[in-house]
Amino acid sequence: AQSVSQHNHHVILSEAASLELGCNYSYGGTVNLFWYVQYPGQHLQLLLKYFSGDPLVKGIKGFEAEFIKSKFSFNLRKPSVQWSDTAEYFCAVNAYSGNTPLVFGKGTRLSVIA
Amino acid sequence: DGGITQSPKYLFRKEGQNVTLSCEQNLNHDAMYWYRQDPGQGLRLIYYSQIVNDFQKGDIAEGYSVSREKKESFPLTVTSAQKNPTAFYLCASSQSNYGYTFGSGTRLTVV
């Protein structure tokens, strides 16, 4: 069975600091990888996704993630966070083929302070 | 605008009652999903349906039931057998393997 581990439960950063949120997955086959964000009181939104090709994926709002197959990792990065990035971030994975359900990590809460 | 509508936004349930959460989509997506979100637990899969009149149990299906009689609709019933139903419930849909569209959620509280 697939599983996703997000190592940080709560991260607190000052504005302009760099961000890296860890995500590791467990699955024997080829996967699709996703990062979702949930701003306070809002829907889950897709930040970025990886299916194949260039392992460095760029998403919305200046976020990027790098797929490292040998490490089963898909870490999320942003060079300079803003107060508006305060949210909960979820890493998710599903099998590459077939309309299979996403498996989510437990989430990382990011608090950005001025 | 295409999207997913979940209703109600807030729902209160008495002990021993069954309640039904609505999820409707106008995206023409084949697959629909129900997740439960608890603080610190992420999203856990309750049920999913990849086609009309068919659905599969997820990781935490006990105490829940679903139906998929129409492509647009995937209601979730929280039965009295669910011992800890207080949670935030999210519905999603997808057409392929390329990510989901989520609804705005229903917050269920047992009173």
Chain A residues in contact with B103 (beta carbon < 8 A)? 43
A34 touching B, CB under 8 A? yes
Contact (CB<8Å) B105/A106: no
| Regions of chain B where pLDDT drops below 50 | none
A10 touching B, CB under 8 A? no
Chain B residues in contact with A10 (beta carbon < 8 A)? none
Q: Which of B50, B90, B96 sits opposite A44 (nearest CB)?
A: B90
Instruction: Count the Cβ atoms, other than its own, within 10 Å of residue A30.
Output: 11
Q: pLDDT digit string (tens) for B52-80?
A: 999 999 999 999 999 999 999 999 999 99
Distance of CA B108 to the CA centre of its chain: 12
Contact (CB<8Å) A106/B50: no
What pLDDT was estimated at residue B103? 94
Contact (CB<8Å) B97/A9: no
Interface size A-B, in CB pairs within 8 Å, comes to: 57
Contact (CB<8Å) A43/B103: yes
Confidence of residue A95 (pLDDT cuts 50, 70, 90): confident
- State how far the Cα of A112 lies from the Cα of B47, in Å rounded to an integer: 35
Contact (CB<8Å) A107/B105: no
What pLDDT was estimated at residue B96? 78
Contact (CB<8Å) A101/B30: no
Query: Residues with Cβ < 8 Å from A34, sequence gap 6 or more?
Result: A46, A47, A48, A49, A50, A91, A92, A93, A102, B99
Q: With CA atoms as reference, report the closest residue to A108 among A25, A41, A3, A23.
A: A23
Contact (CB<8Å) A101/B45: yes
What pLDDT was estimated at residue A1? 75
What pLDDT was estimated at residue B98? 67
The phi, psi pair for B15, rounded to 5°, reads: -55, 135
Q: How far apart are the first and last CA of chain B?
A: 35
A97 touching B, CB under 8 A? yes
Q: pLDDT digit string (tens) for A47-59?
A: 999 998 999 999 9
